[in-house]
Structure 1
Amino acid sequence: MIPPDDPERALALVYAPADRRAALAVLWRLDERLGAVLAMAQEPMIRAIRLAWWREALEALDDGPPPDEPLLQDVAAHILPLGLAGADVAALEEGWAALADLPPDLGRHARARGRALFDLSARLLGEAAPRDLADAGEGWALIDRLAAGDGPDEDRAELQARAAALLARRRWPRALRPLGVLAALARHDARAGDPAARRQGSPARLGRAIVAGLLGR
């Protein structure tokens, strides 16, 4: 199993059931790959074309074997057998496409990407999604992009406050503890200072992640 590049998502995977861990890792790596498409292309048109390629390639997995692309092969091998369709996973593209626009629409990105990612993750983990799962996903996605430096300076405080409201404390069922870890870290970032100043890997963050993974809050 190849873990996500993000060390905090790699840590969160530890709390996934062993038989679902590989599928969740593939989903999160796919999300990272779509983000890398934006980072590697400067022209909005090129970004849109490359994102559309991924969307179409994921949708095509429902009708035939994957092409010679290792990540798509991993989606076919690990995600589709658990009941998700390629078209379901392709929903992630909409959120990243919102950042390919000029100006980037961070709010639409968070709604489309974060809500889809948390919902798909819950389905892979075999757990019915709680009513407020989508809110947590949206809040997490907002903080993730604010930490990356996205968002106009004049809007960052408002977006951070919105994320804090969406990430209100909740208790996560055991099967969804990987998402609980991500939400707990994002909630702390939303209520602290500038999310871009977070120190991934610091002892305090690791402790916070472990508590969330063990206790679900």
Structure 2
Amino acid sequence: MRILVADDERLLADTVAEGLRRLAMAVDVAYDGDGALERALVHRYDVAVLDRDMPGRTGDDVCRSLLESGSGTRVLLLTAAAGIRDRVEGLGLGADDYLTKPFAFAELAARVQALARRSAPALQPVLEQAGVVLDVARHSAWRDGRLLDLTPKEFAVLHVLLRAEGRVVSAEELLEQGWDEHADPFTNAVRVAVMTLRRKLGDPPVIETVARAGYRLGS
């Protein structure tokens, strides 16, 4: 899943982004509303975490623009204001959820994951194919009952392949969904992640390479 985090408190934004990346999410960061909206017009995000109180273009403004664009991005608003009126006002803008600062990262992560599931309601929290089982909520994966020790990128690649349900997934699509905007489109990061994932999945091989097209998970 791909997440946008926008907050003018740079340390907070970077800390949240790093925590979400450790949960195998691709995260882009903006430090103002203009940067957040610019990224949202270029990339498709499952969830946008927006500080309401950014100077200039606020999180409220970005939330309205996302709603008007019909992007389908779920919005979690952050604010230091804890009053009921503030929460009601934020949700009235079209936001999907609201969290007051200071907050526990575990709660923010749980809310982001819940919103991401709502952005793709057809997806099941547990995916299974060819003896491979992936539990999104628990961030765990198994093959034939054997627990797999996967890096966040390997987990993200496996998640995308399972979601594809046998469809061929291009390297570009894997890069878009599993890495952030700073990923070099000419890097071999996808190939390396697929290679190490194959090794950890073991025999018989289940990830097929389709020449000049990409990868798919076999039956």
Q: Normalized against structure 1, the TM-score is what?
A: 0.33
Q: Normalized against structure 2, the TM-score is what?
A: 0.33
Query: Rg: which structure is higher?
Result: 2
